[in-house]
Amino acid sequence: MTDQDNKKIERRQFLTRATKAGISIAAAGIVSARLYDRQGSKAAVDAGLLVTLPDFSVPRKNGQTICIVKGSDRKATVSKAIGLLGGIERFVAKGENVAIKPNVAFASSPLLGATTHPELVAEVVRLAYKAGAKQVIVTDNPINDPASCFTLTGIGKAASDAGARVILPKPGLFRHTTLPGGKLIVNWPIFYEPLANADKLIGIAPLKHHHRSGASMTMKNWYGLLGGRRNVFHQDINTIIAELAMMVKPTLVILDGTEVMMTNGPTGGSVSDLRRADTLIASTDCVAADSFGCTLLGLKPSDLPYLAKAQNAGAGTTDYESLKPIFAAAS
Amino acid sequence: MGLISRRPGRLESGIGIFLLAILLLIGLGVFIKQSDFDMGRFGINTVALVLSAQGSKIGTEEKPSFDLPVPSGFKKLSEAETYVPENLYEKIDGKATLYIESGFVKLFTQRFVSPVRNVISNGVGENDDSLWFELFVYDMAAVRNAFSVYSVQKRADVEALPAMQFGYRTGNALYFVHDKYYVELVGSSESADLLKAMSDLADKLTPAPVFRQENAGVGKVTEIPELTLFPQENLVPGSAKLYLSDVFGFDGLSDTFVCQYRAGDESITAFLSKRPSPQDARTVTESYYNFLVDNGGKDKLASDKNLQTIKCKVLDFYDTTEIIFAIGPYVAGIHEAKNQQSAEKLAAELFDKLNKIARTTKND
ipTM value of the model?
A: 0.79
| Top mean-pLDDT range of A91-100, B50-59, B69-78, B149-158 | A91-100
State mean pLDDT over B97-103: 93
Q: A145 CB contacts (<8 Å, ≥6 apart)?
A: A107, B51, B56, B57, B58
Q: Do B43 and A160 touch (CB under 8 A)?
A: no
Over the stretch B189-221, which tens digit does the pLDDT of each residue have?
Answer: 999 989 999 998 988 876 554 444 443 444 454
- Rounded-to-integer distance, Cα A112 and Cα B197, Å: 19
- B58, pLDDT greater than 60: no
What are the domain boundaries of chain A? 11-37, 55-329
Domain identity same for B138 and B241: no
B172/A270 CB distance under 8 A: yes
| DSSP secondary structure code for residue B73 in this structure | T
Is residue B311 in a domain? yes
Nearest CB to A7; choose among B6, B9, B155: B6
Q: Supply the mean pLDDT for chain A.
A: 92
Residue B235 confidence (pLDDT) above 70: yes
Mean pLDDT of the region A280-305: 98
Confidence of residue B222 (pLDDT cuts 50, 70, 90): low
Q: For chain A, give the percent of residues with pLDDT over 90.
A: 82
Look at residue B37 and tell me whether its pLDDT is greater than 60.
Answer: no
Residue B31 lies in a domain: no
Give percent of chain B with pLDDT exceeding 70: 79
Instruction: Please write the tens of the pLDDT for every residue from B118-169.
Output: 444 444 334 434 789 999 999 999 999 999 999 999 998 899 988 788 999 9
Determine the residue type at A317. T
Sign of torsion over alpha carbons B215, B220, B221, B227: negative
pLDDT computed for residue B12 by the predictor:
83
- The one-character DSSP state at A331 is -
User: Which of B7, B58, B93 faces A105 most closely, judged by CB atoms?
Assistant: B93
Q: Is B5 exposed, middle or buried (0-12, 13-18, 19+ CB in 10 A)?
A: middle
- Nearest-Cα distance to chain B for A312, in Å, is 25
- Give the integer Cα–Cα distance in Å for A75 and A314: 32
B103 and B232 in a common domain: no
Integer-rounded Cα Rg, in Å, for chain A is 27
pLDDT, tens digit, for every residue of A110-136? 999 999 999 999 999 999 999 999 999
Report the gap between the CA of B261 and the closest CA in chain A (Å): 22
What is the rounded average pLDDT of the residues A283-297? 98
The DSSP call for residue A298 is T
State the pLDDT confidence band at B63, using cuts at 50, 70 and 90.
low
Same domain, B88 and B160: yes
Per-residue pLDDT reduced to its tens digit, A215-241: 999 999 999 999 998 988 988 999 999
B177 and B229 in a single domain? The answer is no
Question: For residue A9, what pLDDT is reported?
Answer: 75
**Rounded mean pLDDT of chain B?**
82
Across A145-149, A252-256, A318-322, least confident range: A145-149
Phi, psi of A99 (to 5 degrees): -105, 135
Mean pLDDT of A278-298: 98
User: Are residues A270 and B155, on separate chains, in Cβ contact within 8 Å?
Assistant: yes
In angstroms, the CA B360 to CA A75 distance is: 66
In this structure, are residues A138 and A164 in contact, taking their beta carbons and an 8 Å threshold? yes
Residue B49, in any domain of the structure: no
CATH of domain A55-329: 3.40.50.11440
The answer to whether position B104 is within a domain reads yes
pLDDT at res. A223 = 96
Domain end (from B136, B170, B205): B205
Residue B9 belongs to a domain: no
Q: State how far the Cα of B148 lies from the Cα of B240, in Å rounded to an integer.
A: 9
Residue to mutate among A272, A274, A276, A306, with most B CBs inside 10 A, is: A272
Q: Are residues B64 and B198 in the same domain?
A: yes
CATH of residue B302's domain is: 3.40.1000.70
Residue B258's domain spans which residues?
A: 225-363
Domain contains B130: yes
Residue B99 lies in a domain: yes
Q: How many domains does chain B have?
A: 2
Q: Domain for residue B2, yes or no?
A: no
Q: Which residues contact B100 (CB under 8 A, 6 or more apart)?
A: B85, B88
Give me the mean pLDDT over the A137-160 stretch: 94
What are the angstrom distances between the C-alpha of A181 and each of A226, A312, B316?
18, 13, 45
B43:A143 CB<8 A: no
